[in-house]
């Protein structure tokens, strides 16, 4: 397992750690954020603060140019926030995007600062250099400039209170009529970002990478897909006088503090011009209320910058069950939020942090996707958190009043189980499986809590505190069934005084599996067990090479060989009936152009993977013999090196390997070797 990492920083927010799919850790630390990049080898160069397993980079997050953060004159008190304008712009939230959005199909880091600006960052050039590539607020500003609204309202529309990355949206099928993968979206999925501004408007944004134009610092385009305003509702279990000025002020000042988007449920192909419809449920904590919305996205075909793409008409639909439900009326909801689901999304649960505990809401799939409006089927269960040593006391259970500061979940693919981990600012850690939550089983103590207790005991001995110490958990994040825990240690019987040089935070790593992954294999590239992506790429490339319905076979030898290779690959390794029919038509054209006898290949276009025997010497020297190879009993596999290059390796020395270079859906180069 990875060694603990000690940082000379202090976390500036809860959920202060995030682990990307590339293996990089990001930590929020005041007006900086730190990036921990795993070392790829023993001989790799080190940065000044590097450890045995990590390269550590410190990035200043609160430096903005005037175009990035323009100066605004003071507005009226309802629209202008002195705190945001005069703050030090410390980091109050960060999260990695799904893979595929950054350079080389990596993840980008979204950083929210206390001046209510949300920035996107990525590494540029050397490993230790990070730069701001986009500011999400500018997309909201351009939208408010198009509408005729008061200046104060437009000012509040630009300020972002909270955000959340949705899971990558993947279409159920390829766009109709497309013989090649559209950009990177069919492989990596479509990244979507949900933000909530000062007016409590929920906004769905689609970021796309673009070419950097002259005079522009933004390398990403941000498109607003849908906007939904959250209307102010009456306070749950309010002790204020109904209709009073104070109650109205509390209701109007409610802000969204936490957002979490569930998994996408994609329906099959709806029409030839539509690649399906996707639905996800969005949970928000607005003040002390839980709000639930459905995001409905239709996946259509479009073209952006002359490249095939997906059009995404989207809409929000709010469910008022959480406001009218008696099951939630007496809970003081504080957040955070976390969705739990298995790989097939047949079981879905929402974990909601409340005062001194949390609740779980089990959502049936039909209710989740909006097909069934009966929200009475939602099962709500409360899970109180008690202080250590009082859980088994039936007469007096002392509730733990420190808020939940971190939640994380991960899916064990081998057992198809979803696991939940949570931690509080009081140092309590709990873990459980989704099935155990649904069955009402008791929560368990995670393995990483023992590691934190050992560190706390050493801290207590070093300072001679006599057991009067506490550990505060500031963040949890999971990567390949390994959990990273960010925590600090403090005395409890005295006023704590420290200077900046005394700031210390510790990251420890643990796995709940009995045999956790070894350090040498944790960051190694993994190949998916499923073959769906390989088959899609394979059939897309073959469909691209084979002549179209109105196309002819080129007269040159290389083109004829390429077409024949694609036909053989289809016969020996594909069960797609439409692709086999396409291969049979191509065989008929190839036989007419070359005069070769291709009757054996035509008979084998029956949907079964069949080897093709080698040709005799007479056939190789006869009509059309130039398209044959001496050994054809081979199966070929296609691997995608990137979005514009497809490699067809040969497993037989007598069979050629091919590299197809495609740009903007046009074959630009064919390499044989």
pLDDT tens for 156-176 read: 888 999 999 999 988 765 544
pLDDT at 302 (0 to 100):
63
CA dist 322 and 332 (Å) reads: 13
pLDDT tens per residue across span 290-307: 999 999 998 876 655 555
Same domain membership, residue 307 and residue 288 = yes
Residue 591: is its pLDDT beyond 60? yes
Same domain membership, residue 193 and residue 85 = no
Same domain membership, residue 586 and residue 458 = no
* Listed residues 517, 547, 562: the one ending a domain: 517
Residue 497 covered by a domain: yes
Residue 337 covered by a domain: no
Please say whether the beta carbons of 509 and 446 come within 8 A. no
pLDDT at 197 (0 to 100):
94
Residue 199: is its pLDDT beyond 70? yes
End-to-end CA separation in angstroms for the chain: 43
By percentage, how much of the chain surpasses pLDDT 70?
77
Question: Which of 79-88, 99-108, 403-412 is most confident?
Answer: 403-412
pLDDT tens per residue across span 346-402: 889 999 999 999 999 998 888 888 777 677 778 899 999 998 876 665 567 788 999
Candidates 553, 584, 554; CA nearest to 568 is 584
pLDDT at 127 (0 to 100):
64
Residue range of the domain that includes 159: 136-324
pLDDT tens per residue across span 487-522: 999 999 888 888 888 899 999 999 887 666 666 677
Element (H, E) at 261: strand 256-261
Residue 382 covered by a domain: yes
DSSP tag of 271: B
pLDDT at 547 (0 to 100):
79
Residue 571 vs residue 662, higher pLDDT = 571
- Among 464-473, 495-504, 642-651, the range scoring the smallest mean pLDDT is 642-651
pLDDT tens per residue across span 604-634: 786 565 677 777 777 777 777 777 765 433 3
Same domain membership, residue 287 and residue 364 = no
pLDDT at 657 (0 to 100):
53
Same domain membership, residue 361 and residue 476 = yes
pLDDT at 236 (0 to 100):
61
pLDDT tens per residue across span 409-422: 988 877 778 999 99
- Here the contacts of 456-459 (C-beta below 8 Å, separation 24 or greater) are 456/427, 456/489, 459/489
CA dist 455 and 506 (Å) reads: 9
By percentage, how much of the chain surpasses pLDDT 90?
37
Residue 163, CA distances (Å) to 445, 463, 608 in order = 30, 40, 50
Same domain membership, residue 179 and residue 122 = no
Residue 505 covered by a domain: yes
Residues 6 or more apart in contact with residue 506 via CB below 8 angstroms: 4, 5, 6, 7, 455, 486, 487, 488, 489
**Which tokens is 394 given?**
């039936």
Residue 339 covered by a domain: no
Same domain membership, residue 358 and residue 216 = no
Residue 522 covered by a domain: no
pLDDT tens per residue across span 248-264: 887 788 899 999 999 99
**SS3 (DSSP) at 113:** strand
pLDDT at 449 (0 to 100):
95
pLDDT at 485 (0 to 100):
97
pLDDT at 564 (0 to 100):
83
Same domain membership, residue 130 and residue 145 = no
Same domain membership, residue 119 and residue 167 = no
Residues 6 or more apart in contact with residue 349 via CB below 8 angstroms: 339, 340, 341, 360, 361, 362, 363, 434, 437, 438
Residue 656: is its pLDDT beyond 70? no
pLDDT at 180 (0 to 100):
47
Same domain membership, residue 46 and residue 188 = no
Same domain membership, residue 156 and residue 130 = no
Residue 333 covered by a domain: no
Residue 524 covered by a domain: no
**Which tokens is 634 given?**
């081979």
DSSP tag of 494: S
Average pLDDT over residues 199-214: 81
**How many domains in the chain?**
4
CA dist 54 and 73 (Å) reads: 44
**Which tokens is 340 given?**
């739990």
Average pLDDT over residues 6-11: 94
Q: What angle do CA 150, 156, 159 make, to 5 degrees?
A: 150
Q: What is the CB-side half-sphere exposure of residue 438 using CA atoms within 13 A?
A: 17
- Here the contacts of 522-529 (C-beta below 8 Å, separation 24 or greater) are 522/2, 522/23, 522/38, 522/479, 522/480, 522/482, 523/23, 523/38, 523/40, 526/480, 529/413
**Which tokens is 152 given?**
């104060």
Average pLDDT over residues 456-484: 94
506 alpha carbon, distance to own chain's centre: 26
CA dist 396 and 389 (Å) reads: 11
Q: Is 447 exposed, middle or buried (0-12, 13-18, 19+ CB in 10 A)?
A: middle
* Listed residues 324, 358, 382: the one ending a domain: 324
Residue 58: is its pLDDT beyond 70? yes
Candidates 111, 32, 117, 109; CA nearest to 69 is 117
Q: How many CB atoms lie within 10 A of CB 300?
A: 20
CA torsion sign for 568, 572, 574, 575 is positive
**Which tokens is 89 given?**
């712009």
pLDDT at 651 (0 to 100):
41
Residue 589 vs residue 128, higher pLDDT = 589
Candidates 234, 206, 226; CA nearest to 315 is 226
CA dist 254 and 285 (Å) reads: 10
Residue 71: is its pLDDT beyond 90? no
Residue 318: is its pLDDT beyond 70? yes
Beta bridge partners of 407: 422
Helices (H), 167-324: 185-188, 245-252, 321-324
Average pLDDT over residues 255-280: 82
* Listed residues 101, 134, 167: the one ending a domain: 134
Q: Is 659 exposed, middle or buried (0-12, 13-18, 19+ CB in 10 A)?
A: middle
- Among 368-372, 426-430, 535-539, 567-571, the range scoring the smallest mean pLDDT is 535-539
Q: How does strand 193-197 pair with strand 265-266?
A: unpaired
Same domain membership, residue 477 and residue 384 = yes
pLDDT level of residue 669 (50, 70, 90 thresholds): very low
């Amino acid at each position: 397992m990875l060694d603990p990492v000690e940082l000379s920083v202090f976390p500036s927010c809860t959920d202060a750690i995030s682990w990307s799919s590339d293996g990089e850790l990001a930590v929020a630390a005041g007006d900086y954020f730190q990036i921990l990049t795993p070392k790829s080898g023993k001989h790799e160069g080190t940065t000044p603060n590097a450890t045995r397993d990590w390269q550590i980079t410190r990035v200043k997050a609160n430096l903005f140019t005037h175009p990035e953060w323009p100066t605004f004159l003071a507005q009226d008190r309802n629209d202008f926030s002195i705190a945001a304008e005069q703050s030090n712009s410390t980091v109050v939230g960060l999260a990695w995007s799904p893979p595929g959005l950054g350079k080389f199909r990596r993840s980008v880091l979204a950083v929210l600062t206390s001046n209510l600006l949300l920035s996107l960052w990525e590494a540029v050039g050397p490993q230790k250099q990070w730069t701001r590539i986009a500011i999400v607020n500018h997309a909201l500003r351009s939208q408010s400039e198009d509408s005729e609204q008061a200046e104060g309202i437009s000012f509040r529309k630009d300020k972002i209170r909270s955000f959340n990355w949705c899971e990558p949206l993947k279409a159920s099928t390829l766009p109709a009529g497309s013989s090649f993968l559209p950009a990177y979206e069919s492989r990596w999925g479509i990244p979507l970002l949900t933000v909530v501004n000062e007016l409590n408007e929920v906004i769905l944004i689609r970021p796309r990478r673009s070419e950097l134009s002259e005079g522009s610092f933004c390398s990403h385009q941000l498109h607003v897909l849908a906007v939904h305003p959250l209307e102010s509702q009456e306070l749950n279990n309010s002790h204020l006088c109904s209709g009073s000025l104070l109650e109205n002020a509390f209701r109007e000042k409610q802000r969204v503090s936490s957002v979490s988007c569930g998994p996408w449920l994609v329906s099959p192909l709806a029409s030839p011009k539509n690649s399906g419809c996707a639905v996800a449920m969005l949970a928000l904590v607005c003040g002390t209320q839980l709000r639930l919305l459905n995001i409905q996205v239709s996946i259509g075909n479009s073209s952006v910058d002359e490249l095939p793409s997906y059009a995404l008409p989207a809409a929000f639909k709010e469910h008022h069950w959480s406001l009218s439900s008696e099951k939630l009326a007496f809970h003081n909801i504080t957040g955070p939020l976390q969705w739990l689901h298995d790989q097939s999304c047949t079981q879905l649960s929402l974990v909601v942090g409340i005062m001194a505990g949390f609740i779980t809401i089990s959502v049936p799939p039909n209710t989740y996707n909006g097909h069934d409006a009966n929200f009475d089927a939602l099962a709500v269960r409360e899970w109180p958190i008690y202080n250590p040593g009082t859980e088994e006391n039936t007469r007096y259970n002392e509730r733990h009043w420190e808020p939940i500061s971190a939640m994380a979940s991960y899916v064990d693919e081998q057992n198809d189980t979803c696991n939940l981990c949570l931690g509080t600012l009081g140092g309590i850690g709990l873990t459980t499986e989704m099935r155990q939550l649904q069955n009402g089983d008791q929560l368990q103590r995670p393995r990483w809590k023992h590691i934190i207790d050992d560190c706390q005991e050493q801290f207590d001995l070093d300072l001679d505190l006599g057991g009067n110490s506490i550990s505060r958990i500031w963040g949890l994040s999971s990567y390949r069934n390994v959990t990273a825990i960010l925590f600090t240690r403090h005395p409890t019987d005295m006023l704590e005084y420290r200077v900046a040089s005394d700031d210390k935070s510790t990251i420890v790593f643990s796995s709940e599996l009995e045999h956790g992954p070894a350090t040498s294999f944790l960051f190694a590239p993994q190949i998916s067990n499923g073959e769906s992506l390989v088959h899609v790429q394979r059939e897309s490339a073959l469909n691209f090479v084979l002549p179209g319905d109105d196309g002819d076979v080129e007269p040159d030898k290389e083109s004829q060989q390429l077409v024949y290779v694609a036909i053989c690959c289809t016969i020996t390794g594909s069960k797609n009936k439409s692709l086999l029919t396409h291969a049979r038509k191509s065989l008929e054209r190839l036989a007419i152009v070359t005069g070769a006898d291709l009757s054996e290949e035509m008979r084998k276009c029956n949907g079964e993977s069949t080897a093709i025997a080698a040709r005799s010497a007479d056939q190789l020297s006869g009509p059309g013999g130039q398209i044959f190879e001496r050994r054809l009993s081979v199966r070929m596999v296609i691997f995608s090196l990137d979005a514009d290059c497809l490699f067809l390796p040969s497993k037989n020395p007598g069979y050629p390997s091919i590299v197809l270079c495609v740009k903007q859906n046009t074959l630009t180069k064919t390499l044989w070797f």
